[in-house]
Amino acid sequence: MSASCGAVIWMTGLSGAGKSTLADTLHRRLKDAGRASVVLDGDALRRGLTADLGFTPEDRAENLRRVAHVAALFMQQGFIVIAAVISPEHGHRRMAREIVGAGFVEVFVNAPLTVCESRDVKGLYARARRGEIPHFTGISGPFEVPLAPDVMIETDRVSVEEAVDRLLVPLIAMGCLPGESGLGKPRLAK
C-alpha cells in the first residue's frame, strides 16, 4: 500500500440519490483507517468556491471544471478525494477525468427519480416542478446516465455500508488501501 496514493472518487447522480451520504460515510471509514481524505460536496462548494456561478449549462461546466482542478490538487498531495457532484452531462465527467488523469474513479450513484424526490427534505424537486427552479437536473435540466461508470451503486437497493464497501474496491485495486488475500475485501473498520 502506498501512503501517498491519491485518488478521486467522482460521484455523479441526481439530487437525493445519496452522494453526500456515501461521501461522508466513506470519508469517516477512511479517516478511521488513518487515510487522508477530503470531501468536495457540490452543495458546500456552491456556498464558497463556486458561489459566483448559476445553473446555466455554461456555469455548470465551469463549476465542475473548478471542482476537478481542486480534486486534482488534493490527489497530487496523496489525498483520497471524494467529490459528490451531480455532474449531469457526459462531457462534464469526461472533462473531470481528463483534468484529474490516472486515479479518477467515476461512480454512478443511481436511484430512481421517485426515490430521489421522496428523499428531498429541502423541497427542491417540488419547487422545480412548479417552475420555480430553472435548469433543475432531472426535471427541467438533463441528466445523462453514465454509459460506463467504474462503479454503479443503486442506493435504493443496497445499504450505505455495502455501498461504501464497493467504493473501497477500486481504491484497493489502485494500491491506495490494503486488501485481504487479493480478494478485494476491505480491512477497514466499519
Is position 13 annotated in a ligand binding site? yes
**Residues 6+ away with beta carbon under 8 Å from 175:** 1, 2, 5
Is position 18 annotated in a ligand binding site? yes
CA–CA dist 7, 172 (Å, integer): 11
Is position 42 annotated in a ligand binding site? no
Is position 175 annotated in a ligand binding site? no
Is position 128 annotated in a ligand binding site? no
Is position 181 annotated in a ligand binding site? no
Residue 181 falls in the annotated catalytic set: no
DSSP β-ladder status, 151-154 and 104-110: parallel
What's the chain's length in residues?
A: 190
3-class DSSP string for 82-136 = EEECCCCCHHHHHHHHHHHCCCEEEEEEECCHHHHHHCCCCCHHHHHHCCCCCCC
Active-site option among 37, 87, 140, 181: 87
Q: Per the annotation, where are the binding residues for ATP?
A: 13-20
**Active-site residue list:** 87
Q: Per the annotation, where are the binding residues?
A: 13-20
